[in-house]
Amino acid sequence: MTKLKLGTIPDDTPVKLSLALPAALYRDLIAYAEALSRESGAPVTDPARLIVPMIAHFMAGDRAFAALRRAAHSPPPAPPARGSAPSHEPG
């Protein structure tokens, strides 16, 4: 049987979260949205819309997290063949 190149399609259904931000963090988010609006020339009408790209950018730049993800998604090492003894080569 032919093996298709496309595997299973991951579930990309958005997940809705509700969270409470400290007032100071929310004020910083509003200030960031205002600065972004001035810099880009496009208004940011809802500062909360910045949260998803900010988290995505933060996680994409975290090298330790990227290494953990790669390790978690790499296949486990193959077990030794049955009946074969481990080799004891001199080091």
Element containing residue 36 per DSSP (H, E): helix 23-40
Containing structural domain, residue 64: 45-73
Determine, yes or no, domain membership for 31. Answer: no
Structure confidence at residue 74 (pLDDT) = 77
Determine, yes or no, domain membership for 18. Answer: no
Determine, yes or no, domain membership for 24. Answer: no
pTM: 0.65
pLDDT digits (tens, 9 = 90+) for 19-63: 999 999 999 999 999 999 999 999 988 999 999 999 999 999 999
CA dihedral 57, 59, 63, 64 (to 10 degrees): 170
Determine, yes or no, domain membership for 68. Answer: yes
pLDDT digits (tens, 9 = 90+) for 2-22: 777 877 788 889 999 999 999
Number of domains comprising the chain:
1
